[in-house]
Structure formats: structure tokens, C-alpha cells
Amino acid sequence: MSNDEADEVLLQAYRAGDVRAFERLVARHEKPIWNFIRRFVHDAATAEDLLQEVFLRVVKSADEWRGAAKFSTWLYTIARNLTVDHARRSVHRNAASLDAERTHGESTSTLHDRIASPDRRADEVASDRETKQRIDEAVAALPAEQREVFLMREVMEMPFAEIAAAVGASEPTVKSRMRYALEKLRAALVELGGERPSAAESSGSG
Amino acid sequence: MATNCENVSAQMMELLYGELPADARANVDAHVAGCARCRAELDGFQKTRAVARQVLDEAPPARARLAILNAAAAHLAAQAQPAAAAAAPAAAAPTPARKPVVEEKFSFWDRLRARWAFPTFATVGAVAVFLVANKMFLDPEKSLEHRPAATQEERAAPPATPPVPSPAAEPAPWEGKPPEAADNEAKMGHRMPPHGARVAAKPAGRADDDREGGERGAKKAKKEGRFAEPPPAKPAPAPAAAEEKAYRDQHLAKQKFAPPPPPKESASVPANKAADKIADDPFAAGAPVDAPPSLRGPAPSRRMKAPSQAQGDLDSLMTGEGERSRAGGGNALGSVGGVGSVGTTSKGDGYGSGAGAAPRTATAPRPTVGDASRAAQAPAAAPVQATAPPPPPPAPVATKSRAKRSAELEADEGYVAAEPGKAQQSKDEKKAGGKNAETETLLQRADRLFADGRWAEAAAIYRELLRRDPRNEDAERWRRRLVAAENAEVEQRNANVAAKRAEQKRDSAESAAPARKQAAPKASKATSTESQ
């Protein structure tokens, strides 16, 4: 993503008929978009459909893009809008709530229980798989507006100003949401890694 | 330090994601380096970020990318297809990477053209139709405005101005009047209300071209012994016609037919105006069939409206429709076709063509109808009229002054006025011309109906006659009759409508009066109760 200009060049090449240029664009951006979608859409098949939909939208409206914004910003805004709209429409939300039973995982305790549990041993540091799972859960537990800001900032690497424009909020608001999201995730990691929550809390408040 | 810690905490997100300006970044870095708490906070966030980024690095399924790329390629192909088809032979492009660029551009413009071509043409067409309609509908008003001026011009113009004697204007001898007197009478005739000149809108130029035919007609008439003496070559408009005109003028005044009552129904105005227009049109009295279109100039388009409208009016009258049916575009077009095909073909319903070809005239002939004594005064009119040859190309006509034309038109009108009693004569003429008996009976009937004032029926028969035998030497008269009948009918209808409206007005006024009377006591009652 360091060469955003190349995005524009690649898109021009695609509009000129070079499908391989578009392939490079897809290869460059599909993962952030996929990860963004996956944190809003639990069903993998639906997430796949959405991913295709995002790029199809780009294909169809490639002529309309005139370079007013960075291509990546434009692309991610499309992805964000499609995903959030879908998530709002879907009746069944797959996002785990703090009190929801975990559907996949060996433990039957709730996320809240595990985060709050004071008696977890330090040597129970999660494996990569468990870390991933818990981060997933922690991200899924974020309020949607924090989650989208977190993902856009962390996964899509959008500047705060662009995120603010994409979600229609002020930049301070976006930063505030980002901070809340990070703190919650850090708390989850502290719990997972056996870090002392008090230290994290003190550092967070200071 | 506390403020610094707060500042660092407030700027933590920018610090974390590298969005701090360089100078601010240096201050914050300096503080964090010496502040364990801030460093711990920053470390905690950075660790969280690192873990999260590891977790949030899931690769999408490969089939998704395949599907995306397939769709992208299909889209490209769909876009390039029209352009490729357009530039198919020249598609032997050397560089495959360059070729699609051209195709893409082609396809873009192609699509643009395809998208806008139809709307553009449709808009242009609509504007054109509007302009044509505008001209057709609004021009008659102009002609009405100009009409009085033209009449004055007529008065000023000496009746002898036509450079070539008009045989059609010669049948004076039996009157035994000197040309001067005839001229005077002709002038009197010119003082008629303008609408009178609408009758028999014979093109002025016709006089020139009637020479041969007129002489022929004169010879014929002489053979039949109807002329006391051979008609002298006189350039003045027919004195007899002028006399007829004067007579009819009086008659009109008596019967209050002329000037026609100002049309109370607004819809009737265009019809009359259109009639004016037609009368002014040198070709309106029967466009020469063989005239090249270039000679006709814009005449057909000007004529379009009136005949069609007349047709609509007449039809609505004949079918007993209460409301005037305004001539639509199709009707107008049909009439134009009729105009163009005068004397050659007659298409449509048997009415349209004749009506389209015939000039619209006003009520002038109406008062003369049934006036047998008056008709008898002009015995020679019909023969001359009947022998008039088909109108010649109208090229010189257009240059003639309106006054001259009007003078000749009025002369023609005189003949028209003389017609009713002369049905037998014209019949003889036609027999001499080898016309069949059916036409004769039809013509007789039409003349009788015309004399009886049964305009619609008469007009229908004249139309039929014109349709059957448009080249008949008497066709000119039929046309005039047809138009006169149509106009008379329209006027009659206008008068009826006006009368009806007046009646309605009276009725409504009467009904409103009692209502007011009823309301008044109520109001007084209410005020009395209030006062109590």
C-alpha cells in the first residue's frame, strides 16, 4: 500500500483493457477488504459474495472514478458502505455480544467471564489459534462504529481524516472511537496473555 | 509532567499511527522516553496493534479472486465488443496492450452517441414541429391585421392596372355599361368588407394565363349566342362582377350577413383568419397541378392549416358533433397531400382532398344564393367561368400586388355570385366538354342544395365532384362553391354557438339572481339574531 499512485496507474491500465493490472489491484486490496468484511459478516460465503460485490462495483464504476480521491480510499469506502449496509440489513447478527454463548471454541464461558476472570494463570498464554480467536471475539464484541473505525485504521490503513470522511463523523470522534476500540482489545489481550489488568488500566488512564 | 502525560495521552492515536507533525512528534517522543506510564501505555497499544494485525491478516479464498477477475474480464470484453465490431477489419493491431485503449475509447463514444442520438433527433423534430405549427397557427393573425391595409390598397389601385386583359373579367357587354361605370362599380365592390374578397381566391396571375382559355370561352359563348357582341379586350376587372358585388353588398347589408359577426367563439377565429390567408394565397384558388414544387414555394405549408381545419369543422358539423374538432397534425398532413394532388388524385375519405385543394372563402356567396333575379342578371358569368382553363404555373402570381389580386378575386366573386341561376348553363358547358351525365345530376343537386342553403350537403357533393373530376373546366367554380359552403356552415355554427352562449349567460344570470335573493333574507336573519 506504500505505492498508492500505482493503484491509479493499475486502474487506468485495467480501463485500457489490461485485466492483469486489475488482478494486481485485487491482490493488493482484497485482504484488507476481506478482513474488514469478515469482522462484520460471520458467514464466510456471504463475506465472499460481498468481497466480489465490492470489486464488481469497482469494475462497473471504474469510468466514474476520476482520481478526486485516492483509489484505495475510494475502494475501501465502497467496501465499508456495502458491508455496513449488509450488516444493518441482516436480521441475524453474527457478532458476538458480551453475554452471548461462544459458538465455536472449547470453552462455554462467555467472553465477559474470561476477560473478567481474575484467576487465569499466566502460563495459559494462548496459542496463536486461541489468540486469533479471542481477538476475533474482542473485535466482534466492539460496537459497530468502533469496529469499523478500528478496522479501517488498522487493516485498511486509512488516515483518520479519510475514515472520518468515509463514516461521516468528525476526526476527533473517529480518534476517540479508535482509542476505545484499542483499549478493549488490549484488555482482551491482557486477559489472554496473563498481563496484569491493573497495569494496563493505569497506563490507559495515565 | 502531568500535563505532558495528558497531552501525550490525548495525542496517543496520532502518535500510534504516525500522524503527528514532526515537531509535536519530537516533543511527545521526548516525554515518552522519560515517562514510564506514557511509555507503558504506548507499548500496550502497540502490542495490541501488532497482535491485532497478525490476527486480522486472514487471506480471502482464492476462488473469490478468480470470480472477481472473471467478472472484470467479462466487463472489459462487453465494453470492447461494440468497438471491436466497429473497427473489425482494421483490428490487426500490432500491440495487444494498445489496441484495447482504442477500443475502449471507441466504445465510450459509441455508447455516448447511442445514448444521445435518439433524444437529440427527437428534440430537434419536436422543435421543428413546434415551429411549423407556430407558423401555421399564428400567421393567419398577421394576415388579418394586414387585411384592412390591403383593402385600402385595393381602393387606391386603379382597376385597370392588370397589364394583360383578363378574359375572365370581360363578360360585361350585355350590361351595356361604359367601362368607366363598370370601374366605378368595381370600386364600390372593393369597398366591401374585407372578408368579401375571400370568395373565389383566384390567383391574380391567372388572369394572364387565362388569356387563351378565356378567348376560347368567349368564342364558345359567342357561338351560343349569349354575348351581344364579342367581349372587348379590356384590362379592367369585370364590370358585371363589380355590379354583382355592389348589389350583393347591399344585399349583405340588408340581411346582416356582412360583415360576418365577430366570432364570439374564439375557436372560430383561426378558421376565418386561415380563410383570409388562403384567399391571399395566389395558389389557393386551385394550385396548378403541373406546377413544379419549386414554383409553389412555401404555399403548401401555409395552406396546411386552413383546409384541414375546415375539414374538421365541416366533418364535425356533418356528424352533428357539438364541439369543433380542431384539425390535428395528421389531418393537416392529409390535407397537404390533397393540396399537392389537386386534380390528379384524390385520396382519403373523399372530403379531405377536395377541401384541401379548395380555397377557403367567407360568407360572400351565401347572400346571393337563392336570389334568382340577381343571378339572372349575370348570365354570361358562368360561361366565362366555366371555360377558364386550368390554372397555369403560379410563378408570376407571387409578384403581383395584393391589390391587383384582390381586385381579380372580387371579380371572380362576382361570377360566383352569378352562378346559382346558371346551373343549366354550366351543365351545357360541361356537356359540350364531354362530361358524363352523373356529374351533371350531381352538380345540379349540389347547386340546388347550395341555393337552398344546405351548406354541408352541398359541400359534400362539390367535394365528390372535385374528387371525381378534378380537371373539369368547371372545377374552379366547384372549389369556390365548396369553400363558400364550408365557410357559410362554419359561420352558421359560430352564430349558433354564440346564441347558445348568450342564452346560457342569461340563464345563469337568472339563476344567480334568485339565489342572491334567498341569501339576502338569511343574512338579515342572522344579523337580527346576533343583535338579539
pLDDT band at B490 (very low <50, low <70, confident <90, very high): confident
ipTM of the complex: 0.76
- Residue B455 makes CB contacts below 8 A (sequence gap 6+) with B485, B486, B488, B489, B492
Among the partner-chain residues A19, A151, A182, the one whose CB lies closest to the CB of B76 is A19
Q: Inter-chain contact B64–A154, Cβ cutoff 8 Å?
A: no
The cell 477500443 sits on which residue? B103
Select the highest-mean-pLDDT range: A161-165, B75-79, B93-97: A161-165
If one compares B82 and A14, the residue with the highest pLDDT of the two is A14
Residues of chain A found within 8 Å of residue B41, distances taken between Cβ atoms: 203-204, 206
- Residue B44 makes CB contacts below 8 A (sequence gap 6+) with A186, A190, A200, A203, A204
Please give the full DSSP string across B474-523, using - where no structure is assigned.
THHHHHHHHHHHHHHHHHHHHHHHHHHHHHHHHHHHHHHHHHHHHHHHHH
Any idea which of A15-19, A175-179, B327-331 has the lowest mean pLDDT?
B327-331
User: Which among B337, B359, B363, B361 is positioned nearest to B348, based on CA atoms?
Assistant: B337
Residues of chain B found within 8 Å of residue A196, distances taken between Cβ atoms: none
Give the span between the Cα atoms of B159 and B152, in whole angstroms.
13
Residue A129: the pLDDT is 78
Residue B367: exposure state from Cβ atoms within 10 A (0-12, 13-18, ≥19): buried
Residue B87: the pLDDT is 57
Q: Inter-chain contact B45–A155, Cβ cutoff 8 Å?
A: no
Q: SS3 for A38?
A: helix
Residue B503: the pLDDT is 81
Q: Is the pLDDT of residue B56 over 80?
A: yes
Residue of B nearest to A189 (CA): B48
Q: Inter-chain contact B44–A185, Cβ cutoff 8 Å?
A: no
What residues 52-71 of chain B have any CB closer than 8 A to a CB of chain A?
52-61, 63-65, 67-69, 71
Extract long-range pairs of B105-110: CB within 8 Å, 24+ residues apart: B106/B82, B107/B79, B107/B80, B107/B81, B107/B82, B107/B83, B108/A63, B110/B82, B110/B83, B110/B86
pLDDT band at A166 (very low <50, low <70, confident <90, very high): very high
Select the highest-mean-pLDDT range: A98-102, B40-44, B154-158: B40-44
Tell me the pLDDT of chain A averaged across its residues: 77
Q: SS3 for B417?
A: helix
What residues 74-103 of chain B have any CB closer than 8 A to a CB of chain A?
75-76, 80, 97, 99-101, 103
Q: Inter-chain contact B71–A59, Cβ cutoff 8 Å?
A: yes
Mean pLDDT computed over B19-27: 90
Among the partner-chain residues A15, A52, A182, the one whose CB lies closest to the CB of B45 is A182
pLDDT band at A156 (very low <50, low <70, confident <90, very high): very high
If one compares B47 and B435, the residue with the highest pLDDT of the two is B47
Instruction: Report percent pLDDT > 70 for chain B.
Output: 33
Residue B283: the pLDDT is 41
Any idea which of B104-113, B126-135, B227-236 has the lowest mean pLDDT?
B227-236
Residue B113: the pLDDT is 72
pLDDT band at B140 (very low <50, low <70, confident <90, very high): low
Residue B14: the pLDDT is 92
Residues of chain A found within 8 Å of residue B76, distances taken between Cβ atoms: 14, 17, 19
Give the span between the Cα atoms of B189 and B197, in whole angstroms.
9
User: Which among B373, B244, B369, B357 is positioned nearest to B308, based on CA atoms?
Assistant: B357
Q: Is the pLDDT of residue A205 over 50?
A: no
Tell me the pLDDT of chain B averaged across its residues: 57
Residue B459: the pLDDT is 86
Distance from CA of A186 to the nearest CA of B (A): 5
Mean pLDDT computed over B308-337: 40
Mean pLDDT computed over A49-77: 87
pLDDT band at A127 (very low <50, low <70, confident <90, very high): low
Any idea which of A7-16, A183-192, B193-202 has the lowest mean pLDDT?
B193-202
Probe site for chain A from B35, B42, B56, B70 (most A CB atoms < 10 A): B56
Q: Is the pLDDT of residue B199 over 90?
A: no
If one compares B119 and A48, the residue with the highest pLDDT of the two is A48
If one compares B483 and B266, the residue with the highest pLDDT of the two is B483
Size of interface A-B (CB pairs under 8 A): 136
Residue B7: the pLDDT is 86
Q: Inter-chain contact B13–A178, Cβ cutoff 8 Å?
A: yes
Give the span between the Cα atoms of A173 and A160, in whole angstroms.
10
Which cell numbers in the block locate residue B327? Answer: 384539425
Residues of chain A found within 8 Å of residue B38, distances taken between Cβ atoms: 206
Residue B288: the pLDDT is 39
pTM tops 0.80: no
Select the highest-mean-pLDDT range: A166-180, B400-414, B481-495: A166-180
Residue B221 near residue B426, CB atoms below 8 Å: no
Distance from CA of A57 to the nearest CA of B (A): 10
Q: Is the pLDDT of residue B389 over 80?
A: no
Give the span between the Cα atoms of B25 and B10, in whole angstroms.
13
pLDDT band at A48 (very low <50, low <70, confident <90, very high): very high
> Does B9 touch chain A if contact means CB atoms closer than 8 Å?
yes
Which cell numbers in the block locate residue A174? Answer: 473517529
Q: Is the pLDDT of residue B104 over 50?
A: no
Residue B134: the pLDDT is 84
Residue A70: the pLDDT is 84
* Residue B15: CA count within 13 A, CB half-sphere: 25
Q: Is the pLDDT of residue B185 over 70?
A: no
Mean pLDDT computed over A96-117: 41
pLDDT band at B192 (very low <50, low <70, confident <90, very high): very low
pLDDT band at B445 (very low <50, low <70, confident <90, very high): confident
If one compares B133 and B359, the residue with the highest pLDDT of the two is B133
Residue B424: other Cβ atoms inside 10 A: 12
Probe site for chain A from B3, B32, B37, B55 (most A CB atoms < 10 A): B55
Residue B19: the pLDDT is 92
Q: Is the pLDDT of residue B236 over 70?
A: no
Mean pLDDT computed over B105-111: 61
The cell 379531405 sits on which residue? B352
Q: Inter-chain contact A136–B101, Cβ cutoff 8 Å?
A: no
pLDDT band at B244 (very low <50, low <70, confident <90, very high): low
Give the span between the Cα atoms of B359 and B338, in whole angstroms.
12
Give the phi and the psi of residue B14 in degrees, each rounded to 5. Answer: -60, -40
Instruction: Report percent pLDDT > 90 for chain B.
Output: 5
Q: Inter-chain contact A38–B58, Cβ cutoff 8 Å?
A: yes
Mean pLDDT computed over B409-419: 43
User: Which ranges of A69-168 would DSSP assign to H, the alpha helix?
Assistant: 71-89, 111-116, 128-141, 144-154, 160-167
Mean pLDDT computed over B67-82: 85
- Residue A206 makes CB contacts below 8 A (sequence gap 6+) with B5, B9, B37, B38, B41
pLDDT band at A27 (very low <50, low <70, confident <90, very high): very high
Residue B466: exposure state from Cβ atoms within 10 A (0-12, 13-18, ≥19): buried
Please give the full DSSP string across B16-40, using - where no structure is assigned.
HTT-S-HHHHHHHHHHHHH-HHHHH
